[in-house]
Amino acid sequence: MDFKDMKFEIFRGCDRGLSCKGCGRQDRQLNTYDWLADVPGNTLSTDLVEVQFKNTRKGYYHNVNHLDLHKGDVVAVEANPGHDIGVVTLTGQLVKLQVKKANIKSPDDIRRIYRIAKPVDMEKYKEAKSREHATMIQSRQIAKDLGLQMKIGDVEYQGDCNKAIFYYIADERVDFRQLIKVLAEAFHVRIEMKQIGARQEAGRIGGTGPCGRELCCATWMKNFVSVSTNAARIQDISLNPQKLAGMCAKLKCCMNYEVDSYVEAGRQMPSKEIQLQTMDNDYYFFKSDILAGLVTYSTDKNLAANLETISAKRAREIIEMNRRGEKPLGLQEDGTPQKENKPKDVLEGDISRFDKNKKKKKGANGRQNGKPRRPHADRPQGDNAPVAGGEADNRAAGNRRQEHHGRREQRPNGEQRPQRQRNRGPKPESEAKEKTE
């Protein structure tokens, strides 16, 4: 192939080099990428269409009128009673797989698509959606007044305002027959009660998990499997309730993702109860890294003493040798003990290295040659102040000060230079009298 004159296209945005027709509305939960969107004749292979409603509720319908539907189209579908408004999220061959995954067996559960939504349908749909929040708050108060141990988590109105679905959570069985009568009288619509679990509620609300990604129950997970603490034990996860619980306050569903891999890898590991015998010592199981296939043994059964890490294969070899009555020189294949990588102790060696003199330099605090200056109280003042350079230099400096002082004090005609008066405040009366006398 000649690449010289070929024009390459840089893909960016949500496309990432895939089929642009397969990307759907990312603001909806349980979004599915259509890998077959650019295959010719994909939409003509079946008339099944996936339609999504509020949050995670989806339905599957027959396109009996052979409408040209694409991902993101708003359609009016058959409901009981009346009609509902939803968004097309998938067409073509993948819808068959979604129907099989949703475990829909009866053909009566798959209804028809009437038409693409008209402006009149959208006005009524917006009116229905505007009533949902107020209805949820009022219904919670009604359930509380009736003394029912349940929590109404969400309310969804049908597109034509003829029916309302109330999603609730309850730990025990609830008799809500009286509640249905009160709600029907209050809102004048057909009432449908649907019980959901804590995980389903978290998926409907949506959010971000501790891993930094969007919740699995809000993106792709539909069928929820029970999760037990045994999955955490198999993977050597700390049994901390705060870390094991997800946004729904239940055990995280992702704990089941890698359990099978850990179970399969754990079959290759030696038993924890088997003791390894060598010529130098006996070793007991201390810890293991299942995915890396490493086992750590200790010479003490209860403490971490003389730890040595070997592979699971080497451990099984030693076990077979012990069963034959043989003992290797050591746990390592060459018989030499494993070198311990101890951290370097700060107190090792000469401690006086911290007391070494720093570089001699004159600092801002008056130091010169690394020696501090003497305080003023201990230093001679005036003519007797020492000068660097020895006694002779000090004596010569003193003579020069005296000569300079004599020339400064001699004035013409024998007059002396008036001394400057400093304002030191009022003097005591005793001193003033002595001077006047």
Q: Which long-range contacts (C-beta less than 8 Å, at least 24 apart) are formed by 287-293?
A: 288/312, 290/236, 290/262, 290/265, 290/266, 291/261, 291/262, 291/265, 293/265, 293/268, 293/269
Euclidean distance between CA atoms 382 and 71, whole angstroms: 100
CB crowding 381-413: b at 16 or more within 10 Å, else e: eeeeeeeeeeeeebeeeeeeeeeeeeeeeeeee
Task: Identify the burial level of 416 via C-beta atoms within 10 angstroms of its C-beta, where 0-12 means exposed, 13-18 middle and 19 or more buried.
Answer: exposed
Report whether pLDDT(17) > 50. Answer: no
* CB contact set of 393 (below 8 Å; sequence gap of 6+): 387
Q: How confident is the model at residue 109 (pLDDT cuts 50, 70, 90)?
A: confident
3-state secondary structure of 182: helix
3-state secondary structure of 141: helix
Listed range (90-104, 205-219, 265-279, 377-391) with the worst mean pLDDT: 377-391
List, as one string, the DSSP characters of 66-85.
Answer: -----TT-EEEEE-SSSEEE
Convert the pLDDT of each residue in 298-344 to its tens digit.
998 888 888 889 999 999 999 999 999 988 888 887 766 666 556 66
Average pLDDT score over the chain: 79
- Which token pair is 343? 């951290």
Convert the pLDDT of each residue in 35-74 to its tens digit.
888 888 888 888 999 999 988 889 999 999 999 998 889 9
Highest mean pLDDT range out of 36-45, 255-264, 379-388? Answer: 255-264
**Per-residue pLDDT at 121:** 93
Q: How confident is the model at residue 34 (pLDDT cuts 50, 70, 90)?
A: confident
Report whether pLDDT(25) > 50. Answer: no
Q: How confident is the model at residue 365 (pLDDT cuts 50, 70, 90)?
A: low
Domains of the chain with CATH codes: 42-117 (no CATH), 123-196 (3.30.300.20), 222-268 (no CATH), 276-324 (no CATH)
**Per-residue pLDDT at 281:** 87
**Per-residue pLDDT at 206:** 86
Q: Are 73 and 87 in contact (CB under 8 A)?
A: yes
Convert the pLDDT of each residue in 158-190 to its tens digit.
999 999 999 999 988 888 899 999 999 999 999
For residues 275-296, average pLDDT: 90
Report whether pLDDT(358) > 80. Answer: no
Report whether pLDDT(232) > 60. Answer: yes
**Per-residue pLDDT at 9:** 46
Rounded to 5 degrees, φ, ψ at 276 are -95, 130
Convert the pLDDT of each residue in 338-348 to its tens digit.
665 566 666 66
**Per-residue pLDDT at 411:** 52
At position 245, the amino acid (one-letter code) is A
Tell me which DSSP letter residue 34 carries.
-
Q: How confident is the model at residue 230 (pLDDT cuts 50, 70, 90)?
A: very high
Euclidean distance between CA atoms 428 and 433, whole angstroms: 9
